[in-house]
Amino acid sequence: MERLVLAKLRDWKNKEKRKPLILNGARQVGKTWILKEFGRQYYTDVAYFMCDKDNEIERIFSSNFNVERILMQLSARRGKDIRPNETLIIFDEIQTAPKVLESLKFFCEDAPEYHIAVAGSLLGISLHQGLSFPVGKVDMIRIFPMNFEEFLLAMRQDLLVDILRKRDYDSINMLKDTFENFLRQYYYVGGMPASVQCHADKEGLEAVREIQKQILFDYSRDFSKHVPKADVPRVNMVWQGMPAQLFKENKKFIYGVLKDGGRAKEFETAIQWLIDAGLVYKVNRCKAPKMPLKAYEDFSAFKLFLCDCGLLGALAEIPASQMLVSDEAIKEYKGGFTEQYVLQQLVSRNGGAIYYYSSDNSRLEIDFLTQVDGKVVPIEVKAEGNVRANSFSAYLSEHPDLHGIRYSMLPYIQQEHFDNVPLWAV
C-alpha cells in the first residue's frame, strides 16, 4: 500500500543536517511497515531491531554510549556490517529501551553519517512518564491512519486520486456518485492499514469489522497493562463514551455524559493518556477566529475525536447496512461522524493546530478553524447536501476578511464568502 508519509521520510533521508528520526503514532497505524518499506526502497540494507523482544539490545546500550562500540556490537548481533549512508538502522518499540532512546543524542553528535529511525507505539505515554528524551537531537514525524486519498490508492483508484490532486473540480463533480460510493466504504473501513488491506483484498465486510474489533480489544488491553491501575476505569469510560460525545447535537465534550456529576479533575488524566497514546485528538475552543489562533485558545472547552472513523463505527457498533446502503445512512449521528471524518483528513495533512469556534452566547459555532498561509480559514461540515442559508454564511458575510470552506455532499462551488468543497475532496 502507498503511504503519503513516505515522501516525508525521503525528505528526511536527503536533509543536509539530518538527525536520528522518531516516527510516532498510535499502535497499529503502520509504523513498522512503513520504516521497513522505506528502507527497502531507498537503502542498500536494513538493520531492524525489536527492542522489547531482544535482551541483547539492552545489554549493548547499558555500559556506555561509545557509538563505535555500539555499531560494532550491533553489526555482530545481526551478522552483517552496518554501513554509513547505506544501512537504515531501525529500532522498534523504543519506549521499552530508554538507553536506546537516550543514545540518539550521541549518534546525532558523533555519527551523523549513520541513518537511524525509531518507532514506538506508546512513546508519547513513556515521555510523559519521565523517559529521557534527546531534546534538539532528533527529527520527528508523526504517522496517522490512512486518509481517504491513501484509501483510494489501496483500492487501486489511481485515476481518481490524480483527479483529486489536480483539483479537477469539473471531473470531481461529474464523478460524484463514484466518489460518494468510495467515501461510504471509507466511513465503514476507516484508515487502519489492516482493515484497509482486508477490504482491498475483498475479504468481506464482516472480516473488516472483526479486524476493527481486534484492534479495539488490543487498545483495551493496553489500558489494563500501561495505565495506572486507579485510572483504568476512567480511561475506559472516556473511550467507551466517545460515540455518545460525538453523536449528540453539541459536540463539545461534556463530563456529565460519562457520569452523573462528572468533573474535569476526575477525567483529565484519563483524557491526556488517550491523547498521548495517539488514540484521540483534542480540538480546543478558540474564543475568536483571529490570527494567531493560539492566542485565543480556550482550554476549558474542547471536542474529542477518535483517531479513525472505522474504529468509531466499530466502537458504536454501527452496522454496514447503515453505512453503505441506505440513503438515510447513520441519520441519527452522521453529523458527528462526518466531523470525525473531516478532522481525520485535516490532521493527516495539516501540521498546525486545529480549533473550533463558538460565540459566548452559543448562537454560532464554526466546526473547525485552521491557519493557512497566514490566514484563518473557518470550516463548516455538513453530512448532506442540505445547506440552506445559516449562521456560517451570515457570519462570513459580516467578516469579509475571512474566506471559509464548507465541506458537504454538494459539488464544488465558489461562492462569495466561502467555497463549497465535496467531502471526498477534503
What pLDDT does 121 receive? 78
314: exposed, middle or buried (Cβ count in 10 Å: 0-12, 13-18, 19+):
buried
Whether residue 270 is predicted with pLDDT greater than 80 in this model: the reply is yes
Determine what percent of the chain is predicted with pLDDT higher than 90: 70
Q: What is the pLDDT of residues 161-212, one digit of tens each?
A: 999 999 999 999 999 999 999 999 999 999 999 999 999 999 999 999 999 9
For position 305, what pLDDT does the model report?
96
pLDDT at 145: 97
The domains of the chain, with CATH numbers, are 5-142 (3.40.50.300), 229-425 (no CATH)
The 10s digit of each residue's pLDDT in 118-151 is 998 777 666 555 556 787 899 999 999 999 999 9
User: Which residue is it, cell 453505512?
Assistant: 323
Q: What is the pLDDT of residues 282-314, one digit of tens each?
A: 999 999 989 999 999 999 999 999 999 999 999
Half-sphere exposure of 262 (CA within 13 A, CB side): 16
Angle at 237 between CA 232 and CA 242, to 5 degrees: 130
Please, what's the b/e burial string for 138-161 (b: 16 or more CB within 10 A of its CB; e: otherwise)?
bbebbbbbbbbbbbbbbbebeebb
pLDDT of residue 321: 80
Q: For 312-363, how does the pLDDT look when each residue is reduced to its tens digit (9 = 90+)? A: 999 999 888 877 766 554 555 667 889 999 999 999 987 678 999 988 776 7
Give the pLDDT of residue 388. Answer: 66
Q: What pLDDT score does 261 carry?
A: 84
Residue carrying C-alpha cell 506508546: 122
384 — pLDDT class (breaks 50, 70, 90):
confident
Tell me which range, 366-375, 378-387, 390-399, is most confidently predicted by mean pLDDT. 366-375
* pTM of the predicted protein model: 0.92
Predicted confidence band of residue 76 (pLDDT cuts 50, 70, 90)? very high
